[in-house]
Structure 1
């Protein structure tokens, strides 16, 4: 109640009354308009219309900050709620391996297994950087129980704006994510690796860098016209400067301790070099990462031999971090859509053919796909000057390829060595990029992994055929052999769910991984799967480590690679405790999958049941998506069109330029987010209930029970779906059931929700949802309670906008604009409160 709001001193006193009015109102079936009107007539009858609106805005501001407080409290108590030495942690793994005499097997596993966390700038986090900083400081103050500091931070919070008036640039997005690299990952990754080196290997040798970071901001050009080649280069330089600065700070600390003869001056020399280098990347004093590591190892030898190993652990920690992060800090991925590549490539071919000195025949465009692939695999043309292309997209795409080479020379090969093709449908999509990379910058040796991204249900089904075509190409295969016989393949959950519904997306990816593993092994290639996961279950989120421990031997599992974005970064990796815990859980999930591999194999009967469930839910979801009210409902009854106004990400909120809403143009984040704001988490459960009911109706319920008891994969899927159901609150929009136009459609959704909830409880034997996850359930309940007034205000404002539009008011009507502003502002608190969806 101490937030310093100037205009309304009683906000903190009035909000609990409004909260109570909302709770009672929904319990007795009132709609949001009635609830808001009841509150004002009962407690604030003297307020005029303008004063009422002002109070609603104050409530929104206040609730946003309540969410921040709860985030900080959860972060502060992370190590209390989660056992930092319990199941799935490295200490537990080592203890078990020692007790069972399996330490050598554990060492062997850790020598080849990898976890890569890939940070993306997908806009699911509504906190500006300044607020994230306050959360960090508030967490620390709560841990210390420092009331004075907490009070000051509340004051700062009250004065710090949450709303951005301008979209961030891709570079600003990169900078805000580099904050996590500097303040969390540098320390946590180092600590985990130090523990493995010291407590599991303990031999002073260099071992597998089991954990590493990928980075998309500045390199992800898919659907983002604001990411230019210059942006990519600028971000790569920022990453390098950031890691050099961390090394400088560590050397500065070491200098105070290593004050010995034959050591001190060498540390001072390195400290000076890193300081100069972190400021000016062109400094003549620069040394390579290899030279830095060699000098540190030499200094360590002197300390061991001449100075009784004093502070040897501290210097080991720095040596390990240089091994982990090199001069890149994170690997910058490049991503672009196959359709853009096709257009760019067509222009390039036309230019080469016109030049009269090309390996491409004049009739290239008329040839079959197979013939084109044969020519592309052998193409050895060059383009001397990229500026000759007038089209900006062509120029920028080619320049980005050239810049990859520059980044590799500056930050090391792993600074940027993967190019992802979105919307990959054919082998030709891959070969077009393969040849473009060679034509533009990598004529002698291609040091870039080409990674197709398969997302939609048809693309997932076609993926094995696409990969076999590539594996049968001698030139492409020679490239893979040179890259360690590994093929990176990305699979996307977001568009898969949007396209095919929850069960089918997850089962489609599971089956695709099995077939891609089989296909790759047939050609002696290791498939490296990279999962594009978001925060909520609808986008592949939920308890991800449970997924990886449930895959079985038919899916390649040498590496776990996942995208982390928005609230998932702050909730799962925002503090040293949470980052360490979740990284260790991912490492142990790989070990668990190796141990339990055979147990995770699905029997033919279980596989048939899983397949039938997925197909039924797919058809149910497709029928729902095809309903004539589906698009109008999203467009007029949800917050979809307000997402673009939030200025939280640099990307446009939809792909196409059409004024009309086209389903295929919809990005997954606003799509999933709009259902979340309505508290109808459709993408996380729709079709699941109908699929289960089919078995109940046929009297074959025991088959579903058998699948649930046998399959950890299926169990994990349903537990994550339960989270989506737990966060649904249909009383909020019950008024829509009586709407002439949309009532029938709303009832379809509600019926599916009821069926899914009833059958999931029946299957699990729980009396309530998420019964087996008390802390997660409690967190959701507190958060949902905090945002209840916010959602009520949002629905109230949406209803007012709809009424004014029906009355035919102009688009720029002042009253309408005010209510639209309320809707936009209310998006923030609700999304931020959903951080535990990850």
Structure 2
């Protein structure tokens, strides 16, 4: 059977369908202005022609109204722009649904990177036993975070799901009804979601997608690779941040954490009940039926009250199901054994916790809390903490902390809310472990971790508040900035050299999880340096950990777009080589990455299999050769040059003013998409270190300038071109899959850039020169990436991905034009002698509303 090329499949199954369904969608009368659907294509055409002629957004909008809508009042024009925004938002949803429906046709579900392909490769190379052995210790953990890069409310996500199914079946009447529903469903949130709301929306994915896809993957491995019916390593698991991630989010309280943990347990018990209910219809045999009914009844009641003492323990449930299975094998010809196995496998993966709730807090908060706790203990006359504790050296403090064994049972002695909440959260972990099992919550992540003292402060607090001599929690330092990454190996050696901490790691299986943050790394050091800095840190941390007989487990804080460590993520894991520990792949999945990469059963299964295979590729692939010294030197030099270029750019006097006044940065806080504040500090003026990575990267994306995904890359490569040594960079590109993946992902950032949109800024007296710096770096990077890769156009190796981006960028072109038009109006209104507050409010509303569609359209940034 011949398979059409991927691009052809995309054109037939996505592009053609979009054109057909969009034409139906545009004729539906959603509102009083029935002409919106007719006028939008004309506006779209005006935008395309206008930018081709070098016109600015203001001229384009004015031209459109003059040519097609000359009789409209100013108020009526504004209303039409709002209608355009609403239509375009819904066009993006339509395209999402069509792409989701076509996913299994566009992507080869049994091709390269899938488990079937992995098994066949191992078979043909006579390495099946090696594969089995490796699967016994290998794990993939995806950690769902509530970071606000997803602008769809739950009701719209539901419509996308239903629309996807209707499109698969070509059910025109249902599609038409869903279009109608879509037209009348609000896309924006009038109030910020609470952290609990965020948790509920992500639990939807656990129940409706991951429960099935994780189960299918595990079943496949169990049946087709092991084929022995025995219990094996669970291989895949899921982590969860909403309700536990307190970093920068004052709204996550200890009660929130407990409430989310309870909801997670309740959700998984309901899934087991539903599976038992289905089993009951099949297992109607004597000596079996009543046992299944009994389990079903227990599980139903237990799901209503997950903390009831009348439930059934995890071990009892597994034991009873195994007993039923064995009885059926013996007495009933193994009828429906595979369905029982499927349930046992899911219970093995998800336990009574469903997802492991991670706790996270900033080291600076810990330090403040810890200081209060120590002062209290000193005042009380602790046997461990001397009165001059705060004057001691870091090493002396660590020594005391490793031995401290005070009990702090009564939290009412503390007045400060932050102190009480931090300490209560530690108690919560123990409560969750008692109710959901140890995997319910067994990791505490310290963001902005800079020293070994940061880790030991938390280590001792965990013991003194709740765990005493039996600490069943992993302490996970998170290294983010370039400096912190460089210091990380020394920090870990200090910890490994501490007998108390080393003993704790031994009790945790001689494994140490270390988190590395891409988002803040890129914000701090630019694209190449952030990625190379993390690569080098992983090498040194691997070497350091092995020296102490410890396995380093790397947990990557990756965002959706390449600028935040995303892009084709599995390619990174397949490119690490032998110098980096590869027993586990752990990464954060957030915002639109969840819905775009894991939003449907097919995409979830496919992308999980790609991650599993990429981790195993290091073992099985031809990637055993580390970078040569020459290639390393080039990579290092490129990263350093790019870092310097980015640092100079970041310290340009116009950098902050440009973001503040020419971008959408300050409007992120008004979108009500996430529960946490959009910046860390409380000062009115914009301070770079307070900026969160998401609005920072997002603002460049809205400008269609994607600076964090390429700035400095072109200048770094040009230095080699100027010296006549470009061949060294080309050799590195051909030799290193890691470097190739970096440049390929940077090409994605360039593909999504569109400088014609903001070309008018070049004439701006204040910001013209600054805009030109960005544009010239874009041109240099684009030219040299094509030269190094040998491509004639960007993303030449990924034609279907490029085509998808082009359609999405085309859909939002009118939206971007409206946004820039509104931003320019705001600038002019702010310069006026008398401010028209009413007009200002209207245009600010346009900017905020246009953020939604632009971000949602970028879902394939993941």
| TM above 0.5 | yes
Of 593, 608, 612, 1:583 maps to 608
2: CA distance, partners of 1:778 / 1:830: 17
Q: Which residue is 1:81 aligned to? A: 106
Q: Which residue is 2:15 aligned to? A: none
Q: CA deviation at 1:809?
A: 4.0
Q: CA deviation at 1:51?
A: 0.3
Superposition pairs of residues 84-123 of structure 1, within 5 angstroms: 84-123=109-148
Q: Which residue is 2:851 aligned to? A: 827
Q: Which residue is 2:23 aligned to? A: none
Superposition pairs of residues 748-763 of structure 1, within 5 angstroms: 748-763=773-788
> Which digits, 9 at most, give the CA deviation of each residue in 1:717-770, with x for residues without a partner?
000000000000000000000000000000000000000000000111111100
Q: Which residue is 1:30 aligned to? A: 55
1: CA distance, partners of 2:695 / 2:660: 11
Whether the 8 Å contact between 1:552 and 1:597 is mirrored in structure 2 is no
> Which digits, 9 at most, give the CA deviation of each residue in 1:227-275, with x for residues without a partner?
0000000000000000000000000000011001111001001101110
SS at match of 2:196: helix
Q: Which residue is 2:20 aligned to? A: none
Q: Which residue is 2:323 aligned to? A: 298
Of 677, 686, 696, 1:661 maps to 686
2: CA distance, partners of 1:406 / 1:513: 34
Superposition pairs of residues 558-707 of structure 1, within 5 angstroms: 558-596=583-621, 599-707=624-732
SS at match of 1:122: coil
Superposition pairs of residues 280-295 of structure 1, within 5 angstroms: 280-295=305-320
Whether the 8 Å contact between 1:4 and 1:159 is mirrored in structure 2 is no
Of 430, 444, 465, 1:440 maps to 465
Q: CA deviation at 1:356?
A: 1.6
Whether the 8 Å contact between 2:575 and 2:623 is mirrored in structure 1 is no
Q: Which residue is 2:762 aligned to? A: 737
The answer to whether structure 1 residue 410 and structure 2 residue 463 are counterparts is no
Q: CA deviation at 1:281?
A: 2.2
Whether the 8 Å contact between 1:427 and 1:470 is mirrored in structure 2 is yes
Q: CA deviation at 1:387?
A: 1.9
Whether the 8 Å contact between 1:424 and 1:453 is mirrored in structure 2 is yes
Judged with a 3 Å threshold, the aligned counterparts in structure 2 of structure 1 residues 333 and 667 are, in CA distance, closer, same or farther, namely: same
Whether the 8 Å contact between 1:125 and 1:566 is mirrored in structure 2 is yes
Whether the 8 Å contact between 1:342 and 1:429 is mirrored in structure 2 is yes
Q: Which residue is 2:10 aligned to? A: none
1: CA distance, partners of 2:262 / 2:676: 22
2: CA distance, partners of 1:457 / 1:101: 43
Normalised TM-score (structure 2): 0.97
SS at match of 1:767: coil
Q: CA deviation at 1:102?
A: 1.3
Whether the 8 Å contact between 1:131 and 1:162 is mirrored in structure 2 is yes
The answer to whether structure 1 residue 781 and structure 2 residue 806 are counterparts is yes
SS at match of 1:490: strand
Q: Which residue is 1:148 aligned to? A: 173
The answer to whether structure 1 residue 257 and structure 2 residue 282 are counterparts is yes
Whether the 8 Å contact between 2:357 and 2:441 is mirrored in structure 1 is yes
Q: Which residue is 1:764 aligned to? A: 789
Structure 1 unaligned regions, length at least 5: none
Judged with a 3 Å threshold, the aligned counterparts in structure 2 of structure 1 residues 726 and 598 are, in CA distance, closer, same or farther, namely: closer
Query: Greater CA deviation, 104-113 or 718-727?
Result: 104-113
SS at match of 2:766: coil
Q: Which residue is 1:42 aligned to? A: 67
> Which digits, 9 at most, give the CA deviation of each residue in 1:517-574, with x for residues without a partner?
0000000000000000000000000011100010011000000000000010000000
Q: Which residue is 2:12 aligned to? A: none
1: CA distance, partners of 2:809 / 2:402: 55
Whether the 8 Å contact between 1:600 and 1:712 is mirrored in structure 2 is no
Judged with a 3 Å threshold, the aligned counterparts in structure 2 of structure 1 residues 618 and 364 are, in CA distance, closer, same or farther, namely: same
> Which digits, 9 at most, give the CA deviation of each residue in 1:279-324, with x for residues without a partner?
0124342011111011000000111001111100001000000000
Whether the 8 Å contact between 1:654 and 1:665 is mirrored in structure 2 is yes
Q: Which residue is 2:361 aligned to? A: 336
Normalised TM-score (structure 1): 0.99
The answer to whether structure 1 residue 374 and structure 2 residue 393 are counterparts is no
Q: CA deviation at 1:7?
A: 2.2
Q: CA deviation at 1:340?
A: 0.2
The answer to whether structure 1 residue 215 and structure 2 residue 240 are counterparts is yes
Q: CA deviation at 1:599?
A: 4.0
Whether the 8 Å contact between 1:552 and 1:596 is mirrored in structure 2 is no
The answer to whether structure 1 residue 527 and structure 2 residue 552 are counterparts is yes
Of 417, 422, 428, 2:453 maps to 428
Whether the 8 Å contact between 1:530 and 1:562 is mirrored in structure 2 is yes
Judged with a 3 Å threshold, the aligned counterparts in structure 2 of structure 1 residues 284 and 598 are, in CA distance, closer, same or farther, namely: closer
Structure 2 unaligned regions, length at least 5: 1-25
Of 795, 805, 816, 2:840 maps to 816
Q: CA deviation at 1:357?
A: 3.6
Of 456, 460, 474, 1:449 maps to 474
Whether the 8 Å contact between 1:797 and 1:819 is mirrored in structure 2 is yes
The answer to whether structure 1 residue 709 and structure 2 residue 734 are counterparts is yes
Query: Greater CA deviation, 94-103 or 749-758?
Result: 94-103
Whether the 8 Å contact between 2:443 and 2:475 is mirrored in structure 1 is yes
Whether the 8 Å contact between 1:2 and 1:151 is mirrored in structure 2 is no
The answer to whether structure 1 residue 162 and structure 2 residue 162 are counterparts is no
SS at match of 1:77: helix
Whether the 8 Å contact between 2:30 and 2:180 is mirrored in structure 1 is no
2: CA distance, partners of 1:828 / 1:105: 48
2: CA distance, partners of 1:638 / 1:82: 36
Flag as ranges the 4+ runs of structure 1 deviating above 3 A. 596-600
Q: CA deviation at 1:188?
A: 0.3
2: CA distance, partners of 1:80 / 1:729: 30
1: CA distance, partners of 2:27 / 2:181: 11
The answer to whether structure 1 residue 393 and structure 2 residue 393 are counterparts is no
How many residues are matched? 837
1: CA distance, partners of 2:849 / 2:419: 38
Whether the 8 Å contact between 1:497 and 1:538 is mirrored in structure 2 is yes
Q: CA deviation at 1:590?
A: 1.3
Q: CA deviation at 1:393?
A: 0.2
RMSD across aligned positions (CA): 0.8
SS at match of 2:147: coil
2: CA distance, partners of 1:2 / 1:249: 42
> Which digits, 9 at most, give the CA deviation of each residue in 1:440-497, with x for residues without a partner?
0000200000000000000000000000000000000000000000001000000000
SS at match of 2:136: helix
Q: Which residue is 1:176 aligned to? A: 201
Q: CA deviation at 1:600?
A: 4.4
The answer to whether structure 1 residue 497 and structure 2 residue 522 are counterparts is yes
Q: CA deviation at 1:101?
A: 1.5
The answer to whether structure 1 residue 269 and structure 2 residue 291 are counterparts is no
1: CA distance, partners of 2:361 / 2:764: 43
Q: CA deviation at 1:706?
A: 0.8
2: CA distance, partners of 1:252 / 1:99: 41
1: CA distance, partners of 2:436 / 2:724: 62
> Which digits, 9 at most, give the CA deviation of each residue in 1:356-395, with x for residues without a partner?
2431111111100000000000000011211221000000
Q: Which residue is 2:745 aligned to? A: 720
Of 440, 463, 485, 2:510 maps to 485
Q: CA deviation at 1:782?
A: 0.2
Whether the 8 Å contact between 1:2 and 1:155 is mirrored in structure 2 is no
